[in-house]
A and B are shown apart, each in its own frame.
Chain A
């Protein structure tokens, strides 16, 4: 089985974000593997190993030729990667991203299953996986918190507002997985060394035949205003000396909650 995993490389979420003058996200410095995607990578490795044969291909788009996040996922055990990278990709929105990823998946060839996270940590549109599926003409089983494959059919537990649904479709298809669906492994030292020599197939928007559908123009939107959100005022703060609960009781009474 050939599983493709969409992995996004993002700025370290621990570092406060900033915008460039053109309102694009500042993506200076090293990009890392989005933690949300580590679940898809782990899931793919487990599914391939359960199937007994096949491999895992990473699919990624990043404007600046970044590979360090990919190396992390390769070190976990993925075999190779397709990376769409091109300055022209800066400013690409979710639909444009999905177009690029779908073309990369076709380029990888013979893919049976595509995994992605339900939402990325920095973009969190939550639409890219279903967009990729629609572009490929495949079903999408979205928001999966449990995944099983048997006889060419994928069955998932799909998160709902009130519980979950059991949803099924046949391969090939796209599955988006929630955080916590599996426990991602840490790359071993051997894995890290091996990752250095694993192939990363780099391509541009033009290679994929997507010249004008990506970047800012493809996004067909303009940012009209950026401002700091009004900060909420902090109220009173008490060190508990054994009577802290009384402060809460009084507060609840003024709100007429009790």
Chain B
């Protein structure tokens, strides 16, 4: 038996619904009879079309103005839950998603289950997460029947359209968010992005401390990524060292990626890094230490110096094209 009604907090980049949101809608469709979405922003109609394609029939829209959208959405979600009693509200474990789920949890005095990556329906929702760097899987359930608040890591499910019509837009009042509404966005800065997005690329090439220096990132990691029409990423070690921006970090505290091919250059394979990439279809690792843990999950491992192997590889690929 499926759940009756599951909601998804929908997030966007500009007018485009994020892939992680579409993943949640796809899962929601599988476990519930009715899927609805909540969105805080001004692109309601565009969002209604996109979430409709992934199975949502209603889109509740709240205008956050210049406030942080997650915080404002929380006020709306909490009052909507009171009116419509969904079985569950799913949030992406993102920046705004965490703001939203945290505040909803307090407003409804409901614990929130975070970092989920499996969800099964039936008449009771079972939530699965991974601990200890993804080595141990834990399933949990609420002990009572009230609404489930769930945070899910991106890439946990595959987004598949259902071809549904645009969701019916229902505008809802912002409600009184109290002093939370004081947080005002003054300006937005987009970091320049070339090539495909890290979370969406079919190929990801990441560099770690083993590349030796900041200036080696471009000729080794970026260059190889470009040749493979992929995105480039990094381990936290080189983000903390200031070699590359945080937006490139893959792992527990960075992005989760699941490309067809992940190439790790000079990365040891700490559990916190592997959490973010070990579900890639194929993994190639180049590391000069034959004992590096990354080799334990690599489909192809080259024990060697990135400064020798990678330039030769780049030349060979160039020669072929």
B98 touches A235 (CB 8 A): no
Q: How far is the CA of A2 from the CA of B39 in the complex (A)?
A: 37
| Interface flag for B84 (CB, 8 Å) | no
B106 touches A134 (CB 8 A): yes
A134 touches B246 (CB 8 A): no
Q: Given known contacts A162-B191, A225-B138, is B295 in contact with A234 (CB within 8 Å)?
A: yes
One of B106, B136, B252 near A131 (C-beta < 8 A): B106
A168 touches B183 (CB 8 A): yes
| Interface flag for A202 (CB, 8 Å) | no
Q: Given known contacts A165-B189, A255-B260, A257-B203, is B103 in contact with A130 (CB within 8 Å)?
A: yes
A169 touches B183 (CB 8 A): yes
| Interface flag for B168 (CB, 8 Å) | no
- Could you give, for residues 79-120 of chain A, a 1 whenever the CB lies within 8 Å of some chain B CB and a 0 otherwise? 000000000000001111010000000000000000000110
A221 touches B316 (CB 8 A): no
One of A118, A219, A237, A258 near B111 (C-beta < 8 A): A219
Contacts of A157 in B (CB 8 A): 189
Q: Given known contacts A142-B99, A229-B134, is B284 in contact with A240 (CB within 8 Å)?
A: no
A238 touches B302 (CB 8 A): yes
| Interface flag for A124 (CB, 8 Å) | yes
Q: How far is the CA of A219 from the CA of B35 in the complex (A)?
A: 27
- Measured CB to CB, the nearest residue on chain A to B106 is A134
- Measured CB to CB, the nearest residue on chain B to A133 is B180
B183 touches A139 (CB 8 A): yes
- Measured CB to CB, the nearest residue on chain B to A213 is B109
B-side binding surface: helix, strand, loop or mixed? mixed
Binds B, one of A55-63, A67-75, A245-253: A245-253
* Total number of B residues with any Cβ neighbor in A under 8 Å: 93
Residue of B68, B186, B282 ringed by the most chain A CB atoms within 10 A: B68
Q: How far is the CA of A140 from the CA of B72 in the complex (A)?
A: 12
Q: How far is the CA of A257 from the CA of B202 in the complex (A)?
A: 9
| Interface flag for A204 (CB, 8 Å) | no
| Interface flag for B93 (CB, 8 Å) | yes
Nearest CB on B from A59, distance (A): 17
- Could you give, for residues 107-130 of chain B, a 1 whenever the CB lies within 8 Å of some chain A CB and a 0 otherwise? 101111111000000000010001
- Measured CB to CB, the nearest residue on chain B to A164 is B189
A161 touches B240 (CB 8 A): no
- Measured CB to CB, the nearest residue on chain B to A240 is B304
A-side binding surface: helix, strand, loop or mixed? mixed
| Interface flag for A239 (CB, 8 Å) | yes
Q: How far is the CA of A125 from the CA of B261 in the complex (A)?
A: 29
| Interface flag for A244 (CB, 8 Å) | yes
| Interface flag for B170 (CB, 8 Å) | no
| Interface flag for A166 (CB, 8 Å) | yes
Nearest CB on B from A247, distance (A): 6
Contacts of B18 in A (CB 8 A): 161
Contacts of B261 in A (CB 8 A): 252, 255, 257
Q: How far is the CA of A5 from the CA of B149 in the complex (A)?
A: 27
Nearest CB on B from A99, distance (A): 9
A16 touches B98 (CB 8 A): no
B110 touches A240 (CB 8 A): no
- A selection of 21 A-B contacts at a CB cut-off of 8 Å is A119-B253, A124-B114, A127-B102, A127-B112, A134-B107, A142-B95, A162-B190, A162-B247, A167-B68, A167-B186, A223-B138, A223-B139, A226-B139, A232-B297, A236-B299, A244-B312, A248-B284, A251-B300, A252-B228, A257-B261, A258-B321
The residues of A with any CB-CB pair to B shorter than 8 Å are 16-17, 19, 23, 93-96, 98, 118-119, 124-131, 133-135, 137-143, 145, 155, 157-170, 173, 178-180, 218-229, 232, 234-240, 242, 244-249, 251-252, 255, 257-258
7 residue pairs, one from A and one from B, having the closest CB atoms: A240-B304, A130-B102, A235-B299, A237-B301, A127-B102, A134-B106, A245-B312
Known contacts A130-B103, A244-B312; 17 further A-B pairs (Cβ under 8 A): A94-B112, A124-B114, A125-B112, A127-B112, A127-B151, A133-B180, A134-B107, A162-B190, A162-B247, A169-B184, A219-B111, A221-B142, A226-B136, A238-B301, A240-B305, A245-B309, A245-B316
